[in-house]
């Protein structure tokens, strides 16, 4: 009996021992129209709770911001803001203000009212607007037609206009997830949502390696860079698209034409916050190499890798050490 007790005690101790051990925990799932992936260095069993907290936050933001969920705040704005003020939370107001900031910074290339035209495309059903519908939609694009009062009331001055936060929502969601992990005491993690990712800390003594894939040959890595505490976002014309009459109809819309932006095929932005990397990757995609790179060079702590139609790769000067 005493022997058995000793054995049980030993088993219990070893079980307790494992509960305080840290380990890598990874998970992936579908959310926000894309694939989420996390890798977290966490105490066992804290890893499962940390992944659960990230899952809950992504789900919350999807329900809040998706224009395809009928009672999301974005759907409510799109339905009502041309006829009555729509009151939004501080969080949503902050996202609208960040959107405005990027709209001004990019001289209109980043514009959440792109959706007036963007929502006429259906990439799965291969549907695009005809010339009349597109002309009408173009007249509804322009962020100056959206006002946000100090009381957080949104008003549209053009009937039928629409917004979509798809250009920054995933970046914002990642920043939120990183804040949640930090609050849980987690020091090493990698989080990605589609083309947006963040590396928290290092990989326990080794850097995280982020690879930029070739947009036309998914198995080819154009550049592999060691990063930590850095956001990396890629916007590509290969994420959501169909081919019509030889033309690639994709999901990054030039607000001037209401049609897919055509000069480049992929833009990767490195920045300290994921929301900035996300907004800028979409913006630089629309702006093209010359205007886009000029903007990147003017910003502190922002780098870019742009690949054009011919497959040529352009790097911001800090990456090539030429500044
Ligand atoms: P993803 O990670 O979804 O591929 P990107 O960062 O490449 O996202 O951004 C593309 C998304 O941004 C589109 O799906 C759309 O929701 C939104 N978007 C498209 N064009 C614009 C634009 N000109 N300004 C702001 N947002 C845009
Ligand atoms: Mg983006």
Instruction: List pLDDT tens digits, range 252-276.
Output: 999 999 999 988 999 999 999 999 9
Candidates 269, 315, 295, 250; CA nearest to 108 is 295
Q: Kindly state if the Cβ of 286 falls inside 6 Å of ligand 1.
A: yes
CA of residue 87 to ligand 1 center, whole Å: 25
Measured by CA distance, the residue closest to atom 5 of ligand 1 is 235
> What pLDDT shows up at residue 193?
97
Span 186-207, average pLDDT: 96
Given a cut of 60, is residue 3 above it in pLDDT? no
Least confident of 5-14, 31-40, 235-244: 5-14
**Cα 295 to Cα 309: distance, rounded to the nearest angstrom:** 20
Q: Kindly state if the Cβ of 241 falls inside 6 Å of ligand 1.
A: no
What is the value of pTM for the model shown?
0.92
Q: Which ligand is nearest to the CA of 102?
A: 1
CA atoms within 13 A on the CB side of 54: 32
Backbone angles phi, psi at 131, to 5 degrees: -60, -40
Q: Kindly state if the Cβ of 239 falls inside 6 Å of ligand 1.
A: yes
In sequence order, the 6+-apart residues with CB closer than 8 A to the CB of 35 are 28, 29, 192, 193, 194
Q: How confident is the model at residue 234 (pLDDT cuts 50, 70, 90)?
A: very high
Name the more confident of 214 and 62: 62
CA of residue 30 to ligand 1 center, whole Å: 18
**Cα 162 to Cα 220: distance, rounded to the nearest angstrom:** 38
Q: Kindly state if the Cβ of 114 falls inside 6 Å of ligand 1.
A: yes
What tens digit of pLDDT does each residue of 49-89 get?
A: 999 999 999 999 999 999 999 999 999 999 999 999 999 99
Q: Kindly state if the Cβ of 259 falls inside 6 Å of ligand 1.
A: no
CA of residue 286 to ligand 2 center, whole Å: 11
Q: Kindly state if the Cβ of 171 falls inside 6 Å of ligand 1.
A: no
Q: Which atom of ligand 1 is nearest to the CA of 171?
A: 6
Measured by CA distance, the residue closest to atom 15 of ligand 1 is 166
Q: Which of 252, 259, 269 to mutate to test the pocket of ligand 1 (most atoms within 8 A of CB)?
A: 252
What is the average pLDDT value for the chain, to the nearest integer? 92
Q: How confident is the model at residue 12 (pLDDT cuts 50, 70, 90)?
A: very low
The answer to whether residues 192 and 292 touch, using CB atoms and an 8 Å cutoff, is no
> What pLDDT shows up at residue 218?
78
What tens digit of pLDDT does each residue of 21-47 get?
A: 899 999 999 999 999 999 999 988 899
DSSP state of 70: T
In sequence order, the 6+-apart residues with CB closer than 8 A to the CB of 285 are 235, 237, 252, 261, 264, 266, 267, 292
Q: Kindly state if the Cβ of 162 falls inside 6 Å of ligand 1.
A: no
Q: Kindly state if the Cβ of 197 falls inside 6 Å of ligand 1.
A: no
What tens digit of pLDDT does each residue of 94-116 get?
A: 999 999 999 999 999 999 999 99
Q: Kindly state if the Cβ of 194 falls inside 6 Å of ligand 1.
A: yes
Measured by CA distance, the residue closest to atom 26 of ligand 1 is 167
Name the more confident of 246 and 176: 176
Q: Which atom of ligand 1 is nearest to the CA of 240?
A: 4
Kindly state the helix (H) or strand (E) to which residue 180 belongs, with its residue range: helix 169-183
Q: Kindly state if the Cβ of 260 falls inside 6 Å of ligand 1.
A: no
* CA angle in degrees (0–180, nearest 5) for 97-199-163: 25
Given a cut of 60, is residue 92 above it in pLDDT? yes
CA of residue 251 to ligand 1 center, whole Å: 6
């Amino acid at each position: 009996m005493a022997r058995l007790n000793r054995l049980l005690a030993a088993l219990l101790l070893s079980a307790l021992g494992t509960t305080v051990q840290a380990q890598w925990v990874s998970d992936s799932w579908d959310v926000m129209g894309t694939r989420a992936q996390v890798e977290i260095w966490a105490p066992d069993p804290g890893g499962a709770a940390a992944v659960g907290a990230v899952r809950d936050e992504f789900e919350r933001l999807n329900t809040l911001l998706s224009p395809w969920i009928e009672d999301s705040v974005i759907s409510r704005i799109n339905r009502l803001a041309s006829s009555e003020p729509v009151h939004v939370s501080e969080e949503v107001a902050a996202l609208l203000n960040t959107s405005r900031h990027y709209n001004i910074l990019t001289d209109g290339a980043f514009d959440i009212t792109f959706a007036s035209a963007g929502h006429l495309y259906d990439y799965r059903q291969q549907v695009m607007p005809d010339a009349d519908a597109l002309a009408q939609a173009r007249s509804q694009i322009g962020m100056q037609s959206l006002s946000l009062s100090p009381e957080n009331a949104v008003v549209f001055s053009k009937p039928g206009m629409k917004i979509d936060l798809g250009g920054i929502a995933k970046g914002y969601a990642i920043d939120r997830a990183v804040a949640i992990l930090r609050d849980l005491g987690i020091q090493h993690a990698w989080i990605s949502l589609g083309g947006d990712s963040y590396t928290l800390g290092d990989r326990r003594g080794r850097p995280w390696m982020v690879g930029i894939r070739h947009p036309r040959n998914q198995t080819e890595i154009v550049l592999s860079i060691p990063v930590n505490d850095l956001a990396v976002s890629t916007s590509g014309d290969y994420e959501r698209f169909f081919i019509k009459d030889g033309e690639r109809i994709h999901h990054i819309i030039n607000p001037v034409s209401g049609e897919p932006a055509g000069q480049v095929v992929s833009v990767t932005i490195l920045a300290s916050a994921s929301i900035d990397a996300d907004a800028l990757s979409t913006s630089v995609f629309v702006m093209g190499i010359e205007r886009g790179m000029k903007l990147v060079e003017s910003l502190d702590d922002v780098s870019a890798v742009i690949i054009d139609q011919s497959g040529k790769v352009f790097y911001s000067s800090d990456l090539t050490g030429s500044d």
